[in-house]
Structure 1
Amino acid sequence: MIALIMQGILVFLALLAFVGLYVAYKGPKAAHRVIAINVIFTKVAIIIALLAIVNGQGAFVDVALVYAMMGFVATVSVSKYLEKGRLD
């Protein structure tokens, strides 16, 4: 029963990630696209963490954390570039 619920959650999160991909492609402004990409990074990190729980692989949690940190750094970098026009 728990495995079925986890699979449903994983499918739902994957669908939400694809919705974020659509928003990133069609977003009205660059800021909306950056936020959509951040949402995609977050959803994928959660999917990786849930897969770690389902498969009992603790190393996947580390991968999820690194992936989430990469998403944060990318979001901050692109946001700073959009605001100031440079990254320094």
Structure 2
Amino acid sequence: MIDAALTFAFGCFGLAILLNLWRVVYAPGVGDRVLALDTMVINAIALLILYGVKAGTEVYFEASMIFAMLGFVSTVAYARFMLRGNIIE
């Protein structure tokens, strides 16, 4: 039963990443693209965690934590660049 649930979740998050990619390409503004990229990072983290559950190993959980930290820092840096024009003052 867990295999069916994991397969369904993989399909849902895979579809969500494809829809986010479509939004990144066809978004009307830069803010929408940043939001779509941030949502894509969250969906990729969910896929890493699901794969970790399916594989039964803890390495993917640690990788998802690193990916979450990098995604957060990159979103903040890009938002700061959009507001001020530079990242480091």
Which TM-score tier does this pair reach, normalised by the shorter chain?
A: over 0.9
Counterpart position of 2:86: 86
Q: Secondary structure at the match of 1:86?
A: coil
Distance 1:52 1:32 in 2: 30
Report the aligned-residue RMSD.
0.7
TM-score normalised to structure 2 length: 0.95
Deviations 1:32-67 (A, max 9, x none): 100100000110011001110111010110001111
Partner of 1:73: 73
- TM norm structure 1: 0.96
Unaligned runs of 5+ in 2: none
Work out the percentage of aligned pairs sharing the same amino acid.
Answer: 20
The unaligned stretches of length 5 or more in structure 1 are none
The amino acid across from 1:19 in the alignment is L
When the two structures are aligned, how many residues end up with a matched partner?
88
> Do structure 1's residue 18 and structure 2's residue 27 form an aligned pair?
no
